[in-house]
């Protein structure tokens, strides 16, 4: 129902889509492919025209400010959806319906309504989105709808007010609406308090990667592309088999051999050729032995 009301509030977009539809009927006489493409283009244009509108723009702030408008824009993901919750007070059971910047339960201008099971056809307006106040923190948003129907007997018969606390929960996009309290036991400033969890109000997770880490990631990605691309090229284009499928195989084999030779030259603990043993030189002078003569062995 909320989507239909939203579309009805865009008469100029409806007129554009009607004109486009009539132009499509004119193109029926053309070939089938032209009709199909025309239909696709028209649907895309109509869809962009409808959803380009800021959904939170329907909320009217009590005092228009840029900061509150930014808070509302954080809740864009919660629009066009009715959130319901039941609450029992004594013997009375109520159903509450909340919609962000839209007609809750189809009630015009109502952001939050209360439905009594005894008389469901006459809902009570708790707050209107035409009187909105938005307060936001780092991981929460307090949405306040004012100008609801006046109390009959409580709170000096002042208008009702709904406070919706939307808290960060990264595990859910749209949580369940819960009724916390209806504080009406005071003379003034009474309110209804609701809670809702959503990841829409969670702060963005900042990246803690250092420049060095980013460089390493880029290097690994480039290396992977080089290996995969080179492998496919060698296998599919060149027709290589086995290890020859590795890109620039001959070059990398040569690099490996040179690296091994360099490591062997620098880090080897023993030399390849053993040096001759070192012998010390005595300090005493070597006396020349007298020349032996064998003259006495000769026959006389």
Instruction: Give the lowest-confidence range in 200-204, 216-220, 226-230, 258-262.
Output: 258-262
Domains of the chain plus CATH, in order, are: 66-198 (2.70.130.10), 214-261 (no CATH)
Task: Provide the mean pLDDT of the chain.
Answer: 78
**What is the Cα–Cα distance from 136 to 141, expressed in whole angstroms?**
4
Q: Output the pLDDT for position 179.
A: 94
Q: Which pLDDT score, from 0 to 100, does residue 278 have?
A: 53
Q: Give 11-38 pLDDT, tens digit per residue.
A: 444 444 454 444 444 443 444 455 545 5
90 pLDDT band, cuts 50/70/90, is confident
Residues 6+ apart with CB under 8 A from 133: 61, 62, 68, 143, 144, 146
Closest CA to 84 of 4, 174, 150: 174
Q: What per-residue confidence (pLDDT) applies to 52?
A: 36
Name which residue leads in pLDDT, 268 or 134. Answer: 134
Mean pLDDT of 85-97: 89
Label the pairing between strands 178-183 and 92-99: unpaired
Sign of CA dihedral 96, 99, 103, 106: negative
User: pLDDT tens digit string along 149-208?
Assistant: 999 888 889 999 999 999 999 999 889 999 999 888 888 889 999 999 999 999 988 767
């Amino acid at each position: 129902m909320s989507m239909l009301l939203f579309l009805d509030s865009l008469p100029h977009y409806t007129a554009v889509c009607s004109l486009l539809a009539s132009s499509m009927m004119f193109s029926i006489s053309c070939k089938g492919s032209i009709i199909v493409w025309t239909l696709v283009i028209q649907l895309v244009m109509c869809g962009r025209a409808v959803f380009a509108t800021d959904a939170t723009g329907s909320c009217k702030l009590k005092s228009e400010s840029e900061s509150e408008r930014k808070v509302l824009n954080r809740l864009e993901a919660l629009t066009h959806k009715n959130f319901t919750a039941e609450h029992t007070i004594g013997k009375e059971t109520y159903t509450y319906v909340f919609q962000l910047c839209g007609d809750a339960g189809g009630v015009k201008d109502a952001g939050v309504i209360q439905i009594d099971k005894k008389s469901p056809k006459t809902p009570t307006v708790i707050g209107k989105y035409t009187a909105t106040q938005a307060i936001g923190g780092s991981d929460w948003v307090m949405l306040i709808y004012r100008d609801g129907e006046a109390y009959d007997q409580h709170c000096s018969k002042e208008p009702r007010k709904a406070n919706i606390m939307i808290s960060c929960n990264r595990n859910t996009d749209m949580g369940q609406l819960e009724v916390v309290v209806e504080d009406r036991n005071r003379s003034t400033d009474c309110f209804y308090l609701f809670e809702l969890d959503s990841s829409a109000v969670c702060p963005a997770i900042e990246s803690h990667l250092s420049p060095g880490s980013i460089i390493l990631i880029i290097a690994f990605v480039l290396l992977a592309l080089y290996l995969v691309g080179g492998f496919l090229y060698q296998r599919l284009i060149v027709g290589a088999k086995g290890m020859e499928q590795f890109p620039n195989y001959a070059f990398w084999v040569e690099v490996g051999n040179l690296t091994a030779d360099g490591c062997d030259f620098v880090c080897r603990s023993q030399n390849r050729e053993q040096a001759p043993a070192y012998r010390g030189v005595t300090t005493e002078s070597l006396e020349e032995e007298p020349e032996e003569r064998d003259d006495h062995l000769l026959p006389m």
